[in-house]
Amino acid sequence: MSWSLVFTGQYEKRALRFLKRHPELEKQYLKTLQLLEANPHHPSLRLHPLSGRLSGLHSVSINLSCRITLEFLLTDREIIPVNVGDHDSVS
């Protein structure tokens, strides 16, 4: 059973801003979202829980320097992207 990605208006604005700054990452970004929806535990996503002020969120990698922070709703099998950007800007 696959997961559902639920995009908020705030995330969509952040994603558009990210893709405007990094158009070369659009294919990787879209591939990451597809893989996330099919299998969030796929090893190439490097899914891991965050700590500190982002405790309760998870992170997946687009590439070595960019990531997407996520909220998982396990009961509904929903994934809500929260932010996207380089490692420092989404922490």
pLDDT score of 22 = 94
| Backbone angles phi and psi of 20, in degrees to 5 | -65, -40
Q: What's the domain range around 12? A: 4-84
- The per-residue pLDDT for 1 is 66
Residue 63 lies in a domain: yes
Residues of the chain with pLDDT under 50: none
In a domain? residue 55: yes
> How far, in whole angstroms, is CA 6 from its chain's centroid?
11
- The answer to whether residues 32 and 49 touch, using CB atoms and an 8 Å cutoff, is no
* Single-letter amino acid, residue 2: S
Count how many domains the chain has. Answer: 1
Judged by DSSP in three states, 40 sits in coil
Give the CATH number of the domain where residue 63 resides: 3.30.2310.20
Tell me the C-alpha distance between 73 and 65, whole Å.
Answer: 26
Domain membership of residue 91 (yes or no) is no
Tokens of 16: 């558009």
Q: What pLDDT sits at residue 35?
A: 94
pLDDT at 74: 67
pTM above 0.75, yes or no: yes
- Dihedral of alpha carbons 2, 87, 44, 32, sign: positive
**89 within some domain:** no
Beta strands 58-61; 66-73: pairing state: antiparallel
Residue range 20-45, pLDDT digits in tens: 999 999 999 999 999 999 999 999 99
Question: Is residue 37 in some structural domain?
Answer: yes
